[in-house]
Structure 1
Amino acid sequence: MDQTADTPASEEAGAQEAGADAAAAAAVPSIEEATQITKARIVAADSEPQNWLSHGRTYSEQRYSPLTQVNADNVDELGLAWSYEMYTTRGLEASPIVVDGYMFVTGNWGVTHAIDARTGEELWMFDPKVPGEWGRYGCCDVVNRGVAVWEGKVYVASFDGRLHALDAKTGTPIWQVDTVNNTPPYTITGAPRVINGKVIIGNGGAELGVRGYFTAYDANTGEELWRFYTVPGNPDEPVENPHLEAAMDTWSMGEGYDGPPWWEVGGGGTTWDSMVYDAELNTLYVGVGNGSPWARYVRSPGGGDNLYLSSILAVNPDTGELKWHYQTTPGDTWDYTATQHIILADMEIDGDMRKVAMQAPKNGFFYVLDRVTGELISAEKYTLVTWASHVDMETGRPVETPESNYKDQTQVVLPGAIGGHNWHPMAYNPDTGLVYIPAMETFGIYADAYESYEIQERWWNTGMKWDAYYDEIIRTLEAEGDLPYNRGVLKAWDPVKQKEAWAVVHTDHWNGGVLTTAGNLVFQGTGDGKFRAYRADNGEQLLEIETKTGIIAPPITYAVDGEQFVAVLLGWGGAAITAGDARTASAARYGNEGRLLVFKLGGEAEYPEVIEKNLDIPEPPTDVQLSAMEIRKGGQLFMGTCALCHGALAVSPGVAPDLRYMSEGVHANFKDIVANGILAHSGMAKFSDLHTDEEFDLMYGYIVARAREDRKAALAAQEGQNGG
């Protein structure tokens, strides 16, 4: 008998639907199959535009997507598709990797999440279990910028300097290597890159006194293959790399200096972020950071360019040999790192097609280099700059101004140490020919260099006097009523004409990285809790979504089953903990709950609830009274030790606790927390090695005085509003 003849139509339809679902499921690659990312796949990334295969999508790291389903005509229809909790209130900076419907993204410390990119379902999570006290050694929070995926493995560097290779299916560690030999204050916040079967990673820690390097490891075994030191070590010992022979002559202690030599202080030159690869030239380009200490008057009092600080390096990734270098800030003394995002592109300049590398480093100049030879093609100011008048095109060197010299007196210099552009990735759109820079207009106080310098082991070693720094802030506030130049600007920059095409000014200076697409779009999140889209050609705002949580991470876009998604991490922090504007940052007004938001056209998922904080300062203890001189001394100590995390003038932007709001229990246990580290497990390490009991009392008294002052001002303002 024909069994199907008597099958009801509904059952037959159901069977057909089930068969279609099974066929569709069979067509979806497994996570093991999907994550077989190779060099050939990344080189040909435009052939699979639905994926985001590497840190900047392609090896050139243009952060440009060819996807057009979401475009300038319909971007205002974006709605939430799904959200994912990141289980943190610290800064989130990662670029997710997405391949065939699987997403890999990091939170703080190097915690790694694998997620179904269609639905937001968690597949696995890996926690490297970094000791909380290691948080003390981060210049700019316990952040992480992402993973690399290669041949079925996920590579992530944890904050304490370990590099982990994980099974992409399960998150189970395959191998682990300690890249810093368990030596604080080294940290890692950057994303690894995999090139020719080698995992390449740098590190951070220059502010606290380390010597920079980056290292290549075998992607299968974790074996170290080569290491590139960026600054020379002890001149009485053999150099580790041939390029250091040339560098040695650019460092000088001079005559009569009795302070510690640079190789004891560390020298700096950490490579904590930017790396980009040209497969055709087989060249890796790496950005190098600032010196340790900042002040070259202390670090290298005899003068010299101090190679390879603040430089772009072109390196053979197979051997670690230097091909060429270009130094953006010779003898850097302002923390003008060149670790900012580097973009590779081919473009016509003066009638010729040039292979270029582009960078907008902290120092405020936009550089276009020939990436084959390292020749400087052009350099112009993209933001407010006072430390140098221009870059001399014959020598390639900036021409410094007198006001940039703070050897013997405190100076206000633009940009500040936060830079005209920091780590937040910029993007290049080949359709418009424009680079979109998350730029800033910031000022910096550089306060007298020490004549006799002493190393503060495992703490900030800038070579500047913190007491003079504090006094200048107070003087400026009293004279001007506010601190100048503290805003962000999304700037569309023409790299051929070297001029601004359009700009959008933000209320806060510390905002997210940038994504651009073939849909004539630029996406960026902001510190005041907005996610926006603009027309890439003219800057017209087309979309604004209020997230109520600050954004510093760059968005990405991908597609699954023919549907385009836009994803971005929420969670403010990073270096803005030091310099953030607490009046505008959403973290100061709302909670800073870390989340991943993913949007699509017509998305109707419900947004997570965000609750406004109670900003009433509680009454501080009345039995703590300091003289004006003691408050000044306590403020100087606070700025040099605590402001890094808890905010200038004891006003937190909202990520680390605002100490003006301390509870009775925290007041009672202040010294045990700060000096003895009873909360070290949560990241509040002990600082008994830096200060005496008397100094801790002065810092505590300063915090109480600031709480009392701001509470009084707030109550007076409320009375005024109520007509009192």
Structure 2
Amino acid sequence: MLFIIFAGRNSGSDRILQSPILDTKSLKNWFAQDLKFNIEPVTMRDLLNSPGSDWLVYHGDYKASHYSPLTKIDRDNIKTLVPKWTYKINDGANLRSSPIISHGVMFVTAANEVHALDVSTGQWLWKWQAYLERSKGINRGIAIYENKIFFSTSDCQLVALNRETGNLLWSVKYVDSQNRFFSTMAPLVIKDKIFLGVANNNSGESGFVAAFSTSDGKELWRFQTLPAQTELRGAPTWLTGSYDPTTDTIYWAVGTLPDDQRANPKSYKTPGAYHDSIIALDAKNGRLKWSTRLAEYMPIDWDSNEPLVLTEMNNKNLLLQANRNGLFYSMDRITGKINFSKSFVKKIDWTNKKKICPSVRGATNWMPPSFSPLTGLFYVMTLEGCVGEDNSFYITALDPTDANIKWTYPTRGTNIAAPGLLATGGNIVLGSEGSGHMVALDAVTGKKLWDFSTGKPMFGAPVTYLTNGRQYITMVAGSDVYTFGLYSAR
């Protein structure tokens, strides 16, 4: 494998360095020396307080709420929102990245590459690329801690980059991609550890959650989602988990088994098998605190990898998940006990083999939902439909105390694109439609307040940040990064 670093103030001075993976000295990015940053290291305290002016964690915060308290863009002035800048990633078709923003720099990813941009102008600062990876795939983002960027390539290389220059600091191969493993996820950093799961198309060897040292990439522990001596396969862990700092617990959703094993009732009785479950692990050592299987039978490929949102309501520590199987789960995150589960889509039928509902794409999927402490509502992208029929996307707001639906917004266009959502302190919910429109809705009523046509499919989730006293909103569309701000005559 070869790594490439590009850096400079403009495309006219682009130059390329390439080197074997282990030769880190020759990867020094001489062309980034003129990039002078006056930035402080990102601390654990910064990560715990995210999001504020910056967006430092994939889901915005460790609770995976995908909510920002920023209020400068609100439901009264969002009608004046206009594009401020765009940036194109040449080989980045249908980007999934949720950008990370820190100290005036935005980090956005495509498969096997990281781009650093000026948040105010979109000016390109540097690019890092691994270009001999066996698989291409997609990528959802990076993690940041101290002065390092952490990124997982498609072929399961965990790399650490200097956040100022893009120089490679170290890399480790954390699993053999020949065994059907690959990676699409953004890492999760907590204190001195990097946490990663893995994708395997519900086949091949067992999925896992593993912890690595932020200093050198050394593996510290690994929790397997299937027992060592078993014929079971799959149980992937391909989406970024959540974290509760009060108990030092990470929560991870575990996917399902291949079709032939999922249909066998014995597969659900194997000791040490955690497929179709949510697991709670001690972040320090990977010890299992609890596991909860969400269903004893899944008729089709509905996994449990959807984001896990942590919140506190009525003096209860809750874990919330809108699952691909069509059920909304409220759980006690201390014990793993299910408080209740209830359908959040109209069409749900697990028994009719000729017309199972929801479809194999699920009632929702990987796209991040959002929970607003301001409205107390849970916002999720939902897909209505059954196997063998046309499906329709909706943005749905529900009350997490009982899963009653408060409002729905039917999206326009194709049902291929599947974006995530962002709620803010300005009482708006941001998302997009299959028509290529980015939309802003009133968080209380669901009324559309603003839209903008990109003409491109949108698969990422919006993020927002503050720089120079102004709030901006960024979202990827097709191969482009779009950033919006309020109209100013200046």
Tell me, in whole angstroms, the C-alpha distance in 2 between the residues paired with 1:199 and 1:130. Answer: 24
Alignment equivalent of 1:355, drawn from 309, 312, 317: 317
Distance (whole Å) between structure 1 residues aligned to residue 265 and residue 293 of structure 2: 19
Q: Which amino acid aligns with 2:144?
A: V
- Establish whether residue 596 from structure 1 lines up as the match of residue 466 from structure 2: no
2:44 matched residue in structure 1: 39
The answer on whether the counterparts of 2:203 and 2:257 sit within 8 Å (CA) in structure 1 is: no
Distance 1:210 1:493, change over 3 A: same
**CA contact 1:275–1:287 (8 Å) conserved in 2:** yes
Aligned equivalent of 1:321: 287
Post-superposition offset of 1:345: 0.7
Which structure has greater helix proportion?
1
Query: 1:238-637, aligned counterparts within 5 Å?
Result: 261-262=231-232, 267-293=233-259, 295-297=261-263, 300=264, 302=266, 304-305=268-269, 307-348=273-314, 353-388=315-350, 401=351, 403-404=352-353, 411-444=354-387, 483-507=388-412, 508-509=414-415, 510-571=417-478, 594-602=479-487
For residues 247 and 138 of structure 2, what CA distance do their matches in structure 1 show?
32
1:84 and 2:46 correspond: no
Task: Summarize the alignment of residues 92-171 of structure 1 with structure 2, pairs less than 5 Å apart.
Answer: 92-107=95-110, 109-131=111-133, 133-135=134-136, 142-171=137-166
Q: Secondary structure of 1:127's partner?
A: strand
Q: Distance between the aligned counterparts of 2:266 and 2:462, measured in 1?
A: 45
Contact 2:179 2:204 (C-alpha < 8 Å) held by counterparts: no
- The amino acid of 1:117's aligned partner reads V
SS of the counterpart of 1:43?
helix
Residue 603 of structure 1: how far off its partner (Å): 6.2
Deviation per CA, 1:202-232: give whole Å up to 9, x if none: 1111344332112111011110100110012
Rounded to whole Å, the distance in 2 between the matches of 1:423 and 1:602 is 33
Deviation at 1:301, TM superposition (A): 6.1
Q: Distance in 1 between matches of 2:393 and 2:228?
A: 38
Q: Distance in 2 between matches of 1:385 and 1:225?
A: 44
Distance 1:130 1:371 in 2: 41
For the residues of structure 2 that align with 1:327 and 1:541, how far apart are their CA atoms?
38
Instruction: Determine the structure 2 residue equivalent to 1:206.
Output: 201
The TM-score with structure 2 as length reference comes to 0.88
For 1:326 and 1:75, locate their aligned partners in 2 and report how far apart those are by CA, in whole Å: 42
Q: Deviations over 1:221-261 (max 9, x none)?
A: 110100110012325xxxxxxxxxxxxxxxxxxxxxxxxx4
- Contact 1:31-1:168 within 8 A present in 2 as well: no
Q: Cα–Cα, structure 1 residues 303 and 44, in superposed 2: closer, same or farther, change >3 Å? A: closer
CA distance in structure 1 between the aligned counterparts of 2:132 and 2:202, rounded to whole angstroms: 21
Question: Which is worse superposed, 153-162 or 412-421?
Answer: 412-421
Please give the alpha-carbon distance, in whole angstroms, between the structure 2 residues aligned to 1:378 and 1:164: 40
Alignment correspondent of 1:702: none
Number of residue equivalences: 452
Structure 2 counterpart of 1:379, one-letter code: S
* Contact residue 311 and residue 338 of structure 1 kept, 8 A: yes
Summarize the Cα distance change of 1:329–1:130 in structure 2 as closer, same or farther, 3 Å threshold: farther
1:58 to partner: Cα distance:
1.4
**Aligned-pair CA distance for 1:332:** 3.2
Whole-Å separation in 1 of the counterparts to 2:284 and 2:132? 31
One-letter amino acid matched to 2:460: A
Give the aligned residue type for 1:372. Answer: I
Shift of 1:99: 1.2
Q: Any residues of structure 2 matched to 1:60-75 within 5 Å, and which?
A: 60-75=63-78
TM-superposed CA distance for 1:535, in Å, is: 0.4
- Deviation string 1:459-493 (CA, Å, 9 cap, x unpaired) is xxxxxxxxxxxxxxxxxxxxxxxx52411010001
Give the TM-score normalised by the residue count of structure 1.
0.60
Shift of 1:30: 6.4
Distance 1:358 1:301 in 2: 27
Pair 211,81 (structure 1): closer, same or farther in 2 beyond 3 Å: same
Question: d(CA) in 1 for partners of 2:92 and 2:242?
Answer: 30
CA separation in 2, counterparts of 1:491 and 1:604?
36
* Deviation for aligned residue 1:295: 4.6
Give the AA of the match of 2:377. Answer: L
CA contact (8 A) 2:281 2:287 kept: yes
Q: Measure, in 1, the Cα distance between the counterparts of 2:254 and 2:267.
A: 19
Distance 1:333 1:126 in 2: 42
Distance 1:222 1:61 in 2: 25
More strand by share: 2
**In structure 2, what residue type is equivalent to 1:56?**
H
* 2:190 counterpart letter in structure 1: I
Answer yes or no: is the 8 Å Cα contact 2:256–2:262 preserved in 1: no
Superimposed CA distance per residue, residues 596-617 of structure 1 (whole angstroms, 9 cap, x where no aligned partner): 0000001699xxxxxxxxxxxx
Cα distance in 1 for partners of 2:358, 2:163 equals 42
Displacement after TM superposition at 1:90 (Å): 2.2
Q: Distance in 2 between matches of 1:206 and 1:387?
A: 24
Q: Measured at CA, do residues 89 and 195 of structure 1 come closer, stay the same or move farther in structure 2, by a change above 3 Å?
A: closer
Amino acid at match of 1:362: R
Q: Deviations over 1:278-319 (max 9, x none)?
A: 00111000010111346523xx46453453111111000110
Question: How many Å apart are 1:371 and its aligned residue?
Answer: 0.8
Assess, with a 3 A threshold, how the Cα gap between structure 1 residues 415 and 32 changes in structure 2: closer, same or farther. Answer: farther
Q: 1:92 to 1:56 in 2, by over 3 A?
A: same
- The match for 2:212 is 217
Instruction: Tell me the SS of whatever aligns to 2:455.
Output: coil
Structure 1: which 5+ runs fail to align? 1-28, 136-141, 236-260, 389-400, 405-410, 445-482, 572-593, 606-724
The whole-number CA distance in structure 1 between the counterparts of 2:454 and 2:179 is: 36
Where do 5+ consecutive residues of structure 2 fail to align?
A: 1-34
| TM-superposition CA deviations, 1:341-375 (whole Å, max 9, x none) | 11111112xxxx11111001111100111111111
Q: How many Å apart are 1:330 and its aligned residue?
A: 2.3
Q: CA deviation at 1:567?
A: 0.3
How far apart, in 1, do the equivalents of 2:135 and 2:366 lie? 22
Task: Please say if 1:183 is aligned against 2:126.
Answer: no
Decide which moves more: 508-517 or 428-437: 508-517
Partner letter of residue 433 of structure 1?
G
Q: Alignment RMSD, CA only?
A: 1.9
Q: Distance in 2 between matches of 1:604 and 1:88?
A: 35
Higher relative contact order (CA 8 A, sep 6+): 2
The separation in 1 between residues aligned to 2:317 and 2:443, in whole angstroms, is 23
Deviations 1:474-528 (A, max 9, x none): xxxxxxxxx5241101000110132100001123333310001010100002222
Query: Which one has the largest radius of gyration?
Result: 1
Give 3-state SS (helix, strand or coil) of 2:422's partner: strand
Whether contact under 8 Å (1:295, 1:334) holds in the other structure is: no
Matches of 1:303 and 1:229, distance apart in 2: 16
- 2-side partners of 1:281 and 1:308: how far apart? 22
